[in-house]
Chain A
Amino acid sequence: MSAGRAVLWDMDGTLIDSEEFHWIAWRDTMANEGITITHKQFLSSFGQRNDSILPRWLGASTPERIERIANAKEEQYRELIRTNGISPLPGVVHWVRQPHAAGWLQAIASAAPRANIKAILQALSPPRTSFKAWFRPRMYATESLSLKCTCWPLLVSAYRLNDALLWKTPSLVLKERDALG
């Protein structure tokens, strides 16, 4: 592999399968609010932003309540990660280690909260791999970006990459290189 290249990785569904933890966190958090969420409801919302999901489940609500519930859900999700650990999907370790060894930049491009990304990288790292070290520190897209696809041009331009491969899940829309400016 040539140097001066980069791989931007999506996280959920690409590096890890976190669906079950998201389901448990949503189910229990909403139960604490007195609302029962079915697995079917969860699946139909999976991959969407919390501020899109919650108004449908809550009905009329305040932004403050939505933020409070979303924060509670994400904290429980991170606790599940910390308590149970999480494994990379098959093939991930090889395909992340190889570009790192070749000197490529690697970053995670995800709309997940930054605290979630950090918790997952920490859970993936010890003791078997140096997973966390294979990614550029602080090179994340964060929840402040409204769309996942908008973060990629920022990451690319920030590091003046020569070329890049993107890995993405069905929820992502790829911007063509010419559109990145």
Chain B
Amino acid sequence: MKSVGVNRNGAHLPADVVFQSLELLDPNTFEMLLEGGPANAK
């Protein structure tokens, strides 16, 4: 199971990737996480 953290205040999240806003997600974030590839946090 993969996780994406949405964190606007800078607090730590124990997620595979953490983004400040859903607007900043790369279009292929879901697929890359589930296929085991890298997903860059922003």
* Interface majority SS (helix, strand, loop, mixed), chain A: mixed
Q: Assuming A1-B30, A1-B31, A164-B2, is B7 touching A170 (CB within 8 A)?
A: yes
Chain A count of residues within 8 A CB distance of the other chain:
28
Beta-carbon contact of B34 and A91 below 8 Å? no
Q: How many interface residues does chain B have, given as a range?
A: 20 to 34
Beta-carbon contact of B1 and A89 below 8 Å? no
Q: Which residue of A2, A89, A92, A174 is within 8 Å of B3 (Cβ)? A: A174
Beta-carbon contact of B5 and A168 below 8 Å? yes
Complex: chain A residue closest to B6, CB-CB: A14
Q: Which residues of B contact A94 (CB under 8 A)?
A: 22
Which residues on A are within 8 Å of B, measured CB to CB? Answer: 1-2, 5, 7, 13-14, 89-92, 94-95, 98-99, 156, 163-170, 173-174, 176-177, 180
Q: List 29 A-B contacts (CB under 8 A).
A: A1-B31, A2-B31, A2-B34, A5-B34, A7-B30, A14-B6, A89-B22, A90-B21, A90-B23, A91-B21, A91-B25, A95-B22, A99-B30, A156-B1, A164-B1, A165-B3, A165-B30, A165-B33, A166-B4, A167-B5, A167-B6, A168-B3, A168-B15, A169-B6, A170-B7, A170-B11, A170-B13, A174-B1, A176-B1
